[in-house]
Chain A
Amino acid sequence: MPDETDPISDDELLYRRIPDSMHWYDPGSNLTPSPEAFRPKVRDKTGLSLFRANFVTPEKLAQNDRNARFYVAILCERELRELGLEIIPKPNPTGPPGHCEIPELRYENRRETRSEEFQVALATMLCVEILGPLPTS
């Protein structure tokens, strides 16, 4: 039985939620998502939030009672690690299972060069696929 605190293996897939309301991704255009979708926001104090595919489905991740629609970007742990990003498990008992974080991408350092470059790389190079917008319930 896998545990949420288990280290993340190279072949694991990871999910990143992208809110539809912010226009950061438009499947009708031929553009990759905006780097804003990977820019730490005020709540990302300890790292950018991702979720492990071994513990949650994209559909479950998109569910909410606010009727807010989400896309879910799929990323591969190996590709993030090869870029130099570390991903650590950080289970959150009040949120969806499989929560993990990229500690290097935090709100406080979001304007630093390295962080800005990672944001662009995540958006333009590292999304394996983007699903959605997914049903909210």
Chain B
Amino acid sequence: MTRVMNPRFLSFGRFDRSKARATVFILLLLIAGWNTVTIYVHQKTSMSAPGGALAAFLTLGLLLLSHRLPSSTGGTLGGDSETDWIFAFALCGVGVWMIYWLPGRFADHFWLWRPDTFGLMVCALGVASLLGGTRFALWIGAPIFVTSVVTAPIVQILLTGTHPTAMRVAIVSALLGTSPWWLARPYTHVRIWRRYVFLVPVIVVATGVAVVVGGPDWMISVVAGLIVAVGSWWVVRAVTPRRNSISMPNVPFTRQRWLPVMAIVVGAACVELLLPTATFTPVSALTTPHGTVQGHYRTSLGLSVTQWSLPSPTPTIEYLVTTITGKNKWTVLTYPMGTMLAIPQPACPNISTFHNGRREVTATLYLDQVYAYRWQFVSWLQEHRNTYQRVAVTIATGPVGSSIPPIGVTPYVGVDAGYTLGSILANRHLLCEPFPLVLQTALAMNPNTTNADLIKHSKVHA
């Protein structure tokens, strides 16, 4: 392997063909993942905290570009084309599969975890092994994985809570932004620590100044994120030229692999079209169920959360409705509500997703086998005059003569996240079909939905 003498990256005076290819590649990935990226940006902006995610992605981008940095001694080990292909095949296969299937499996929790971004990252890793070689893909793998996790909305909500303050958002942005490079370089390098010790106070002071001076939350978040991103680049720059260059040579973009890379990008773009687009059918008026209000509160994100119990024909069945209403549909979608059902010991959380026209409807069956309680759950999002409302209808049934445990009003974010993983890992080979009673209740609350549509789609997807 010849030594690559390329003293600086981002020096546009020396903008060579490899850099042009890298730029085109990143642009193509953005285009291929346009749907994912668009939804993601909307979602994070609505949470008034785009900084952390932005910083994390920027840091990742800088790490990706850092493979263009010169190495101190020059690489001596050759790559292996066959290994690159096998890695690319496996990773892209998994990535595309995740983009295509995970949204359906996660159902309501899709908006909390955004598994499609993870799938896109895995695809990018596969493409990286084709373009930069397997060693490069392995090196960048850990930062990519961390970026995928920390940029999930659930992490933001877990760290800032459902009532975030500007300071909390800023600190979390800084924390998330720095995370990718933690795994991208050796911990033992003294220079890293010197720069890091300098960087942390700068971030804290800058964030404090931004909070004192004032401004919208999102602006403070973005400023904090940018400071972190630039700082991260500075720290990464301190060590990457001195990485073990024998096993991590600079690998230029390979021209003959451009065609398969394009094929992967186009394939990913096609799969992207299958993602939930969150385009909702307007209804004539927001549903206002008539029943007993069990709880009501407003969140700092401008959401109004209300729960009702509806009149029931028998004492063993309760009809429960939760609505989350707000002006920003992404906030409404993202707000965690799985644990608002507050179901004790769910033994069989199963999820099924079906479509009502262009609207995605989620049905969940929780079954408590010990106490013979059963909760069935259907939710959807609707819009009226720029106001969005997520509605969840729950039918709770219990044994004769017993009282059904009450449902909660506020979500438990951490438990919500746990439920999602539990529902993915447990009872993999079962899918619960929504019961007719649940569907009828849902229909009664939403006059625009036709019975035939709902049942037809539920059968198709069950």
A binds B: no
